[in-house]
Amino acid sequence: MSTVRDAAFDVLRSRGLTTVFCNPGSTEVPLLTDLPDDLRFVLALHEASVVGMATGWAIGTEAPALVVLHTTAGLGTAVGAIATARVNRAPLVILVGQQDRRHVALEPFLTGRLEGLAGDYPVWADQPARAQDVPGALARAWHEAVTARGPALVIVPMDDWRAPFDGEVLAAPARLLRPAAVPDADLAPLVQLLTGARSPAIVAGAGAAWDPLVALAERLRCPVFQESFGARAGFPQDHPQYAGVLPADRARLRERLAPHDVVLAVGAPVFRQYVYAPGPLVAPGTSVALVTDDPAEAHRSPADLAYLASPAAVCARLTTLLPTRTASAPRATAPGASPSGPDDAPLRGRPLRAAHVLSALASRLPADTVLVEETPSSRPDLHRLVPARTSLGFVSAAMGGLGFGVPAAVGLRMALPDRPVVAVVGDGAALYGLHALWSATHYRVGALFVVLANGRYAVMDRLADDQGGKAPWPPFTEVDVRGLARSLGCPARRVDSYDELTATLDEVVPNLAAREEPLLLDVTVAVDLDFQP
């Protein structure tokens, strides 16, 4: 007799959801025991790592990843990572276990009050009314995750898996097409705006498609900025028209965009900020247009003209409709070396700074490297020194919560086993996701983790300084990241000097693409509070 579990597995197979990211609990045992051989189980030691690894996998494969979480404890612990997946627009199908349906009304041990626990971060959530509706709910969750590019959640009581199934999957189409063509008549207002622009500019975000956007930028002969706090690079950062990352405060944003009378944001919000400052986002006389396939992004952006449409389709069509501008294309300043140069560290006896490490990486990393960033105090140096040469050349947590970098790098490398994967993380951020190193070691995931260890939350220290006060939190210089990594089975090395750094990178980087075990470098760096987000 076919069961709900059998039918659910068929749905998962048909949607390509054959890798299960999980930290199991008792309510998931009926689903996971004797898992079929064609379904791969990937264990992580903490739910934030489970979701973070799945997020990396989804970004790398550009397809939904499957997550299994354990009732209230699992879902509650994973909410922050689910929020990051939502803002990073990573499609996830999340199965959450629940107590036995037959006595859940009595709230037995491990009953979860699960509906709404993750807030509005799931793009869709459901607890099927009947066990027989579970396979259809999973199929719909896959569609919802793809369409809304975010986590879709299905709550399943543990006894549902053994219930008989009548052979009919309801509630989801077998095939869903998403036509992306944009009629020329609908594009006419944007064509008119850009044709009449004296000095246009583009802001590229994580939702942009590289090739069509490059063609459009070259047609317009305009500078292209990267959105601040983006989930990934929206434009090649070694392109001569690349103009850098937009500032994350209104005064500097207005100043940066003031020379431009038309600003077109593509796959990016208008505009991502950090610390509040008064005043408008752009100077008077600057018109802002937006192209995005994210409804929430379109609806909340204070743009003069917004398109809810495929950025790739819109950019491709605009390139044919717009005349080539006669102005000379701008020559943006290429990313450069550290202000004082990496070689001055050993020569002058100075300690390593983050810029020395990033400059050494930049000169060695292959062009196809997937670079995951979670080092807030060093992010400006990373943007300046390590240009993204592919769309995955910069991947970060757009939500801002810590704990993304290490597990995301593991998931990305699992999804892209032939590409070098490097995570550059601060020690404070690394401590939120180190559990994923066990998974990296166990599943032979050959990513490189470069931990910039200054023994403190440098961004928080800077913010406290800006308030003119003293931070109450102490440094945590006693923490030994290398020792923690080794306790999880991950090979790790301490790096204290520039010579050690370059020797290690020269040994490791050339073989990154073929590497079959992870490596963590615990790099001691000096505190550098002279940065602006």
Mean pLDDT of the chain: 91
Q: What's the pLDDT at 344?
A: 57
What crossing angle do the helices spanning 498-508 and 354-362 adopt, rounded to 10°? 30
In the structure, what pLDDT confidence band is assigned to residue 176 with cuts at 50, 70 and 90? confident
Q: What's the pLDDT at 50?
A: 97
- CATH homologous superfamily, domain 344-524: Thiamin diphosphate (ThDP)-binding fold, Pyr/PP domains (3.40.50.970)
pTM given for the model: 0.93
Structure tokens at 237: 């950062």
Kindly provide the b/e burial profile for residues 315-336, where b requires at least 16 CB atoms within 10 angstroms of the residue's own CB.
Answer: bbbbbeebeebeeeeeebeebe
Cβ-based neighbour number of residue 26 at 10 Å: 13
Mean pLDDT for the stretch of residues 498-502? 93
In the structure, what pLDDT confidence band is assigned to residue 175 with cuts at 50, 70 and 90? confident
Per the listing, tokens 């790098």 go with: 409
Whether 333 shows a pLDDT value over 70: the answer reads: no
Whether 505 shows a pLDDT value over 90: the answer reads: yes
Structure tokens at 16: 């390509």
Whether 83 shows a pLDDT value over 90: the answer reads: yes
Closest Cα partner for 462 from 382, 403, 526, 531? 531
Whether 335 shows a pLDDT value over 50: the answer reads: no
Q: What's the pLDDT at 223?
A: 96
In the structure, what pLDDT confidence band is assigned to residue 172 with cuts at 50, 70 and 90? confident
Q: What's the pLDDT at 106?
A: 87
Q: Which CATH code for domain 184-321?
A: 3.40.50.1220
Mean pLDDT for the stretch of residues 379-408? 93
Q: Are 456 and 475 in contact (CB under 8 A)?
A: yes
Q: Which CATH code for domain 4-162?
A: 3.40.50.970
The CA distance from 123 to 503, in Å, is 46
Q: What's the pLDDT at 325?
A: 87
Q: Domain residues of the chain, as ranges?
A: 4-162, 184-321, 344-524
Q: What's the pLDDT at 524?
A: 92
Whether 334 shows a pLDDT value over 60: the answer reads: no
The CA distance from 408 to 11, in Å, is 26
Whether 133 shows a pLDDT value over 90: the answer reads: yes
- More confident site: 295 or 445: 445
In the chain, the amino acid numbered 63 is: A
Mean pLDDT for the stretch of residues 117-128? 94
The CA distance from 375 to 220, in Å, is 34
Whether 151 shows a pLDDT value over 50: the answer reads: yes
Mean pLDDT for the stretch of residues 77-86? 96
Instruction: Assess whether the region 4-162 and the region 184-321 belong to the same CATH fold.
Output: yes
In the structure, what pLDDT confidence band is assigned to residue 89 with cuts at 50, 70 and 90? very high
Provide, rounded to the nearest whole percent, the portion of the chain with pLDDT above 90.
75
How far is the first Cα of the chain from the last one, in angstroms, to the nearest whole number?
59
| Digit-coded pLDDT (tens) for 270-282 | 988 888 888 899 9
In the structure, what pLDDT confidence band is assigned to residue 339 with cuts at 50, 70 and 90? very low
Whether 327 shows a pLDDT value over 80: the answer reads: no
Q: Are 514 and 364 in contact (CB under 8 A)?
A: no
- More confident site: 172 or 323: 323
Q: What's the pLDDT at 332?
A: 54
| Digit-coded pLDDT (tens) for 4-61 | 999 999 999 999 999 999 999 999 999 999 999 999 999 999 999 999 999 999 999 9
